[in-house]
Amino acid sequence: MASDENKGGGICGNMDITLSCLSSLEKLTARVYRKIRGKTRDTYASLIFSFISHDSEKHSVMFKDMASIMGKPRSTRISIARCSSILGSFYREAYYTLLEVENITDNVEIIDEELMVKLVEKLTAYEDTAGEEYLVGLTAYLLSEEARSLQEAYRRILSLIGEDEKRHQELLEELASRLRTK
């Protein structure tokens, strides 16, 4: 999860900020899915986007709660640069992918099937990466001494979020396949 760009204590040294960054990313994810949902006439796609949006909002709240439970509240503002310095290129790439999809969505009245396939492909890749990053990077933290008392609960919650991300990816792949065969 953390790349060679990792500075300032890394994931383990900044777990509360890491979780805040992930909360922010999930909040953006939920917003993007809501916007797409509002611009599609395909009821099947609309239902999938609604489901993923609600899950992403739930993940955002959980990451925020987990950060506050860490017991180290900070006044540091979350920014793309700060989150990227901790999480590496994953965060920056994910954030800009979501902004790109949001920008495309904002600039059309209705998302036609051709555009929908392109957006779904981008979001499928994002969901795949997000699930892997949450499970691998944050589980590594939970194995550290600092997290001993939180290990069981955090590990289970992160596992469930990772499973949700995998389901999101599968739903998007099914949607893309369905759209291509229309």
pTM: 0.82
Among candidates 25, 21, 28, 26, which has minimal Cα distance to 78? 21
Each domain of the chain, given as residue ranges in start order, spans 10-180
Query: What's the maximum distance between 2 C-alpha atoms anywhere in the chain?
Result: 53
Tens place of pLDDT per residue across the chain (182 aa): 333 333 444 444 577 788 888 899 999 999 999 999 999 999 999 999 999 999 999 999 998 888 887 765 555 578 899 888 888 888 888 999 999 999 999 999 999 999 999 999 999 988 877 766 665 566 555 555 555 666 677 778 888 888 898 899 999 999 999 998 87
Instruction: Give the separation between CA 32 and CA 123, rounded to whole angstroms.
Output: 10
User: What secondary structure does DSSP assign to 150-166, as a single string?
Assistant: GHHHHHHHHHHHHHHHH
Which CATH number does 10-180 carry? 1.20.1260
Q: Are 138 and 63 in contact (CB under 8 A)?
A: no
Q: Are 154 and 66 in contact (CB under 8 A)?
A: yes
Helix (H, G, I), strand (E, B) or coil at 123: helix
Residues 6+ apart with CB under 8 A from 139: 155, 158
Helix (H, G, I), strand (E, B) or coil at 50: helix
Q: Are 48 and 171 in contact (CB under 8 A)?
A: yes
